[in-house]
Amino acid sequence: MRKNPPNRRSFLKAAGATVVLPWLESIPVLRAVSSGKALTKVPLRFVATFFPLGVNTHQWGAAGTGENLKFKPTLEPLQPIKHKVNVLLDLCHPHLKDKRGHAGKVASLLTGEPGGRDNSAAGISIDQLIAGQIGDQTAFRSLALGIAPSRNRRGFYDSSISWRGADKPLAKEIDPRMTFAALFSDKSWLKRDGSVLDFVLDQAQNLEKRISAQDRQTLAEYFEGIRELELRIERMDRDKAEWQRHQASEPSISRRFHPDDPSGAGEMPDFALYQPQSFREHTQLMLDLMVLALRTDRTRVASFMFDSYGPKYSDFSFIPGVAGQWHALSHHKETPSSLHQYHLINRWHVSQYTDLLQKMDEIKEGERTLLDNSLVLIGSGMWDGNRHTCTQYPLLLGGSAGGQIKTGRAIDFQGGSMSRLFLSFAENMGAPLKEFKEATESFGSTLAG
């Protein structure tokens, strides 16, 4: 590192008011673009991700710690990153344990209140309570992303996990292009042939002369990653346009247009009209954009939904061995074939979560990584999709919040309260709460190990 790194004033003069850069070791004071407030240390981030319909409970779980941490089959994709993950077992919202059916199972995961068909309100979600205390330090108070829009009569109650109030759900952004544009606060690039990368390079061109060799390499990798994202978005736009032309010319056929099989092997629901052609690429793009937002400190609180609750779900027949419809498979009735396919869909979601953690772990921030400086939760609003139970939730937690949490464990909370877990998250993020629902005490010591 340089003996005399640039100070905040010279950094801002060199970088420009609108530049969006990753963490750099040569810049001891970072800047949140929207507020102009300085940071004296690497920030912490909180991410909540969600998938509906529960899990094959026979194949989900783990036991042990450290090198002896052993995963059941659904969680095996975590193996390469297991030293930075905790499997959270036997946690629930006690007052919701007897709630049946699908209604309210989306909104309740992070709020502790169901919301939905019975006219009850959803409450405030833990991510938004955290954002309420630290969100003013970044351009975006929080970021809500997903791949499917609201698509049923109950709307946001079954399509939003992030809630600012009982009747204030956060609408998800599902369009990769609009998400990318918003992160750089310069939507004019959408209307021209040039690249947003050109814009960022112009803003940062003087900075490379004033930073360390390691930071120059970091910037080179960062710019390469931006360009790759642009190209992927452009390719997806072309595929989507081709699909829409196909839909206009052959509506009876295009309604059966499968995201990874243009031959029309599987029927797609109406909401597919809003999705890019490839379901898998859409998912990976939105997760990569979330990583970009966290890396550049555009936000420190984010949520992502792999799907919402609805009468139809995304078609997973692109997974070898899966032929049925997701919702139908979740009602497996203990049939071996349905249970196996259900497990394969669960395992696919775990693999996407693993990819997210690995990408975050590749990004260095001082002596740690972006993953180390984060808490990344994944969970579902029910346990067994066949019976719609929420006596416990399938939960994984990646990262250590800057070393505050001991990782590489399967932690059995023995019927513990999710509300206590959320109090712990708030403490870890520097946004302590006196209470959350019925809880006034956190699991701080348990998570710290």
Whether residue 325 lies inside any domain: the answer is yes
Whether residue 400 lies inside any domain: the answer is yes
Q: Once rounded to an integer, what is the mean pLDDT over residues 296-319?
A: 84
- pLDDT bin (cut points 50, 70, 90) of residue 226 is confident
**CATH at 121:** 3.40.720
Residue 31: beta bridge partners?
38
Compute how many other C-beta atoms are within 10 angstroms of the C-beta atom of residue 17.
11
Dihedral Cα 67, 72, 75, 81, nearest 10 deg:
10
* pLDDT surpasses 70 at 289: yes
Q: 78-82, 242-246, 344-348: lowest mean pLDDT where?
A: 242-246
Whether residue 37 lies inside any domain: the answer is no
Give 33-76 pLDDT, tens digit per residue: 334 444 557 899 999 999 999 999 999 999 999 999 999 999 99
Instruction: State the chain's mean pLDDT as an integer.
Output: 81
pLDDT score, position 82: 97
Three-state SS at 411: strand
Whether residue 346 lies inside any domain: the answer is yes
**Contact, 50 vs 380, CB < 8 A?**
yes
Residues of the domain holding 50: 42-184+277-448
Whether residue 25 lies inside any domain: the answer is no
Whether residue 353 lies inside any domain: the answer is yes
Q: Say which amino acid occupies 57.
A: T
Whether residue 194 lies inside any domain: the answer is no
Give 13-26 pLDDT, tens digit per residue: 443 334 577 877 77
Residue 179: C-alpha distances to residues 12, 68, 137, 140, 285 (Å)? 25, 40, 20, 12, 10
pLDDT score, position 184: 74
What's the pTM value of the predicted model, to 2 decimals?
0.84
Q: How many domains does the chain have?
A: 1
**Contact, 265 vs 317, CB < 8 A?**
yes
**In which residue are the tokens 């089959």 written?**
73
Q: Once rounded to an integer, what is the mean pLDDT over residues 146-154?
A: 67
pLDDT score, position 408: 98
Whether residue 296 lies inside any domain: the answer is yes
d(CA 374, CA 428): 10
pLDDT score, position 27: 66
